[in-house]
Amino acid sequence: RIGSATSLSSAVINTRLQELVKLFKERTEKVKEKLTDPDVTSDEESPATSPAKPAPAAAPVPPPGGEPEGDKPPGDEHYCEMLCCTFKYQPWLHRLKNYRFPSSIDPLTNLMYVLWLFFVVMAWNWNCWLIPVRWAFPYQTPANIHCWLLMDYLCDLIYLLDILVFQTRLQFVRGGDIITDKKAMKENYLRSQRFKMDVLSLLPLDFFYFKVGVNPLLRFPRCLKYMAFFEFNNRLEAILSKAYIYRVIRTTAYLLYSLHVNSCLYYWASAYEGLGSTTWVYDGEGNSYIRCYYWAVKTLITIGGLPDPKTLFEIVFQLLNYFTGVFAFSVMIGQMRDVVGAATAGQTYYRSCMDSTIKYMNFYKIPKAVQNRVKTWYEYTWHSQGMLDESELLVQLPDKMRLDIAIDVNYNIVSKVALFQGCDRQMIFDMLKRLRSVVYLPNDYVCKKGEIGREMYIIQAGQVQVLGGPDGRTVLVTLKAGSVFGEISLLAAGGGNRRTANVVAHGFANLFILDKKDLNEILVHYPESQKLLRKKAKKMLKNNNKPKDEKGAPRDPLIIPPKPDTPKLFQAALAATGRMGGKGALAQLRWRLKELKAMQA
């Protein structure tokens, strides 16, 4: 038993040493490849370490509490042991204690910065919406002044933190380089127009409260922090999947704010003239803000039905209101039209393409069955992809970004193709950019038996059926998403690239297609991968052409068995008889064999 345990330990150690040597070799090859080719990216997968095998003679040691490790609660990393007791602590609290504020912030991709901009914009909206209300309407009283001041100085604190903590840490680009140095980022902010507007927005006019009282108009400079609002709009639209919804909401808010300011001005004008002094001013009944807002809506939208102004002040005020209302409302309508037009631009393009195709088919009197299939293709392609041609979007991107998108979309499928396993990784990357997406309708022939194969197909979505049999309609196999067929036709030569079966789409099928021409253009730059692919293609063709009884399966019975070859000794005797010119049985037999060969010829 001692000897068997020792041999087992030796076997385990030897196995582990072999695995370590293999890992070291892989790492050495990767480092060597990086040294010889500096363009190799560093995002390659590091070799996965195999789990360490436990030693056979080791026994588990119980923790100080006496409880074995296996009996610990599932979240044992959230437990801490002190003396003989176990206390549970929250993981988020631990992460909060260990959190360190970043020394530099990427304003384009950092979601934390977008969240902070949201709070800054909320403080800016508080000032923009409520300063006119507190100035015009009698809502700010000595009884609630402390609540207003508390919210005001909380917004000022947010402004101050934005200047001192966030804006001085924003990365910027200079000469094509991303600058993350603290001193350089601070100097860049101090020299910017944003810093000047931020300082103006925090002018301490509140000190005049001690002389003129708490007048909300002294806080008007707080509205100058408008650049944070527009930056927040840009960052939010960049991360939203349907940004046009936010644009519609924002344009509606512009209209509501203009009505809000107009209602405040109307109440101020009414108070200046005297509430209820004329039929034009607000009479002081009901909710003052709602009544004034209703008047502002009727004025700016020019609905009509308003009382005529009486005094010169009222006439001038109403004229300015009408002019401003017409201008503001036309601008809002134009913005709303642009937002809706941008949101439906793709749908408009789809409808125009479909209408042009239908007009073309009607002009040439295409049969209705074909027209219906074309319409079905348009509708399915648009609803499944959201576009008619994916390459139209990617053609505007740089080559590196197109490659990144192609890797995320197609690499997992292409890397599973047996034909391309072991090839140069960069060759596969180049091949991903050449894939075309094609949609097939139900019962469409993807390829037919006997035709020349020039493409390889990868099923992205849907199913296809391989048909065969005497009538060519028997379903031999059904291929699903992720399957590949036609890969041998890319490299086969000497007539071996003809299709051997019919492939039909079973339902709607979305396939990726790789042309033989594109692959040949890629392989020119990768001769080693070309040799490997040729070798694999020959092997796969050889396996496909082997007889079915190779594994011991019985052959089909032959009606006329083949004639066995003539023994070599008998052939030598016949040849000697012919040379000697003798007569006899062998000579007659030789003459009969010549006649048979002539008849067969």
Higher pLDDT, 41 or 352: 352
Above 80 in pLDDT, residue 114?
Answer: yes
Domain boundary among 239, 271, 294: 239
Above 70 in pLDDT, residue 35?
Answer: no
For residue 72, what pLDDT is reported? 45
Q: What tens digit of pLDDT does each residue of 496-509 get? A: 577 878 899 988 88
Query: Which CATH number do you get for residue 448?
Result: 2.60.120.10
Identify whether the C-beta of residue 246 lies closer than 8 Å to the C-beta of residue 237: yes
Above 90 in pLDDT, residue 183?
Answer: yes
Identify whether the C-beta of residue 306 lies closer than 8 Å to the C-beta of residue 319: no
Above 90 in pLDDT, residue 474?
Answer: no
- In a domain? residue 79: no
73-77, 123-127, 256-260, 461-465: which range is least confident on average?
73-77
The predicted model gives 44-55 an average pLDDT of: 42
Band the pLDDT of 56: cuts 50, 70, 90.
very low
Domain boundary among 221, 239, 257: 239
- Per-residue HEC secondary structure of 206-261 comes to HHHHHHHCCCHHHHHHHHHCHHHHHHHHHHHHHHCCCHHHHHHHHHHHHHHHHHHH
Band the pLDDT of 461: cuts 50, 70, 90.
confident
Above 80 in pLDDT, residue 312?
Answer: yes
Residue 152 C-beta-side C-alpha neighbours within 13 Å: 25
CA angle 34-39-42, nearest 5°?
60
The predicted model gives 231-255 an average pLDDT of: 90
Return the percentage of the chain with pLDDT > 70, whole number: 76
Query: Which residues span the domain enclosing 433?
Result: 416-545
209-213, 259-263, 428-432: which range is least confident on average?
428-432
Instruction: Give the predicted TM-score (pTM) of the model.
Output: 0.62
- What phi and psi, each to the nearest 5 degrees, are found at residue 545? -90, 0
Above 60 in pLDDT, residue 376?
Answer: yes
Above 60 in pLDDT, residue 86?
Answer: no
Band the pLDDT of 288: cuts 50, 70, 90.
very high
* Residue in the structure block whose two tokens are 């309407």: 137
96-110, 175-189, 485-499, 511-525: which range is least confident on average?
485-499
- What phi and psi, each to the nearest 5 degrees, are found at residue 422? 95, -5
* Residue in the structure block whose two tokens are 């002044």: 145
For residue 326, what pLDDT is reported? 84
Q: Which amino acid is at 395?
A: V
Radius of gyration of the chain (CA): 41
For residue 391, what pLDDT is reported? 64
Q: Which residues contact 247 (CB under 8 A, 6 or more apart)?
A: 237, 339, 342, 343
- In a domain? residue 593: no
Q: How would DSSP label each residue in 29-92?
A: HHHHHHHH-TTS-S-SPPPPPPPPPPPTT--PPPPTTS--GGGS-TTGGGEEEETTEEEE--HH
Domain boundary among 220, 239, 258: 239
Indicate the angle between helix axes 243-273 and 111-136, nearest 10 degrees: 20
The predicted model gives 412-429 an average pLDDT of: 80
For residue 580, what pLDDT is reported? 61
Q: What tens digit of pLDDT does each residue of 10-31 get? A: 777 888 888 888 888 888 877 7
Q: How many domains does the chain have?
A: 2
Alpha carbon dihedral 407, 409, 415, 416, in 10-degree steps, equals 170
Q: What tens digit of pLDDT does each residue of 550-573 get? A: 444 444 443 334 455 566 666 666
22 token code pair: 């293999």
For residue 3, what pLDDT is reported? 55
- In a domain? residue 275: no
Looking at every residue in the chain, the average pLDDT score rounds to: 79
For residue 71, what pLDDT is reported? 46
- In a domain? residue 570: no
- In a domain? residue 212: yes
- In a domain? residue 421: yes
Band the pLDDT of 75: cuts 50, 70, 90.
very low
Whose CA is closest to 504, among 459, 544, 452, 437?
Answer: 459
Q: Which amino acid is at 425?
A: R
Rounded CA-CA distance 223/126 in Å is: 9
- In a domain? residue 8: no
Identify whether the C-beta of residue 134 lies closer than 8 Å to the C-beta of residue 216: yes
Rounded CA-CA distance 281/144 in Å is: 28
Band the pLDDT of 115: cuts 50, 70, 90.
very high
- What phi and psi, each to the nearest 5 degrees, are found at residue 113? -70, -35
For residue 188, what pLDDT is reported? 93
Above 60 in pLDDT, residue 379?
Answer: yes
Higher pLDDT, 573 or 293: 293
- In a domain? residue 529: yes
